[in-house]
Amino acid sequence: MNDALLQALETRRSVKADRLQEPAPSGAELDRILAIAARVPDHKKLVPWRFIVFEGEARAKAGELFAAACQAEEKEPSHVRLETERARFLRAPLVVAVVSRVAKRPGAPEWEQILSAGAATFNLCLAANAMGYGTSWLTEWVAYSPTVREGLALAENERIVGFVYIGTPMEKPEDRDRPKLADIVSRWAP
């Protein structure tokens, strides 16, 4: 029995993006996290996901894209709003976008390919958490913006599953309520 793993899963919590500070994983450590993220159930082995890493300056450049998207898609955004967009990816020292890419394939419905991408995203979080880093899986409006899609060069069959913010937690987050098993579990007894 792997009690340490069980305890980690039992106490896991996301850490808010702006409560993540340096250091973040990089180099071999980040590669290890990404390799674990890619080790998920995948019907027909289609690899229906990929990762985009935003580190260092790339985070500020992404912010320029978000500000441009905001200007293109919203009515007269305020200066404060545009500054918020420029700083969006600067909330944490590292951001990894998980991109779902679905292929038409008999026997592997789109739904299953998307689920695999969700599993990859969560494996990414858990791997980073196991190394002591905090994570936050966020989409926010930027995951759904046509301008951002274009700026990130997403293909027609691709969608953002999440932007995973990664860094060192500034503090341990408080626990939050979880569903009662009685409300979500039934035993099939025909």
Ligand X SMILES: Cc1cc2nc3c(=O)[nH]c(=O)nc-3n(C[C@H](O)[C@H](O)[C@H](O)COP(=O)(O)O)c2cc1C
Q: Rule CB under 6 A: which residues touch ligand X?
A: 13-14, 136-140, 162
Q: Which residue is nearest to ligand X (CB)?
A: 14
- Residue 112 phi, psi dihedral angles, 5° rounding: -70, -35
Q: Find all residues with CB under 8 Å of 102, minimum gap 6, and list them.
A: 48, 110, 113, 114, 157
Minimum distance from residue 16 beta carbon to ligand X (Å)? 8
Q: Is the CB of 14 or the CB of 123 nearer to ligand X?
A: 14
Residue placing its CB nearer to ligand X in the complex, 67 or 161: 161
Interatomic CA distance for residues 122 and 70, integer angstroms? 28
How far apart CA 81 and CA 68 sit, in angstroms, is 11
Least spacing, CB of residue 118 vs ligand X, in Å: 7
**Are 124 and 134 within 8 A, CB to CB?**
no
- Shortest reach from residue 14's CB to ligand X, in Å: 3
Q: What's the min distance (Å) between Cβ of 176 and ligand X?
A: 6
Of residues 176 and 187, the one with the C-beta less far from ligand X: 176
